Amino acid sequence: MSVEAKEKTEVRLVFLGAAGVGKTALIQRYLRDTFEPKHRRTVEELHCRRYQVGGATVTVKILDTSGSYSFPAMRRLSIQHSDAFALVYAVDDPESLEAVKRLQAEILAVKEDKFTPIVVVGNKIDRRGERRVSSEDASATVELNWNHSMLEASAKDDANVVEVFRELLQHARLPSRLSPALHRRRETFPKCVGDRPPKNTTHSCTVS
């Protein structure tokens, strides 16, 4: 087995998307099983969890990025040092899907790898009467043109949230044995120190 094909014991997941699409809501639903309906602006927050899987320790880091502030250099740095990406749009906001298209192009340009693990997430499917992006149109772009995975979800209704994270971890080549641990998501991921990821992320996380 080549080095590239080996399963990893640490992975960094990044959530990117326009403001208000529910990136933080998806992460908080997964980590704490909570939902806050009021939008709160995020700059950057890094969450960590270490799992014991067999005899190995698996570290999962989740970076919640801003959709409100423009920090191109910070975003490029986050992309360079991350393993898998969730690109989130809201099904009631066509412009947020356009933002995903721009972010997908930026990720491929920075990583210089068209096979970079990307999962596109159409959030807010609970807003059934307000949908303005059809799943057919989105999947035609994401799955046929880009060859990425796509899921629709609702942080509010807790629909497909675990599946989003399972898909990300599988694409990032984490051990398949980690899957049962995903169901223990109600355990709190402690935040890393500070709102922005410290430069030395390897030793920056407070773990329980």
CA-based nearest residue to 26, from 77, 74, 63, 68: 63
pLDDT > 90: what percent of the chain?
A: 57
pLDDT in tens, 12-68: 999 999 999 999 999 999 999 999 888 777 778 999 988 776 677 888 999 999 886
pLDDT for residue 155 is more than 90: yes
pLDDT in tens, 182-198: 655 544 444 443 333 33
What homologous superfamily is domain 10-197 in, according to CATH? P-loop containing nucleotide triphosphate hydrolases (3.40.50.300)
pLDDT for residue 4 is more than 80: no
Pairing outcome for strands 44-53 and 56-65: antiparallel
Query: Considering only 60-69, 75-84, 87-96, 107-116, which range has the smallest mean pLDDT?
Result: 60-69
In this prediction the pTM is 0.81
Do residues 26 and 13 touch, judged by C-beta distance below 8 A?
A: no
pLDDT (mean) for 6-11: 74
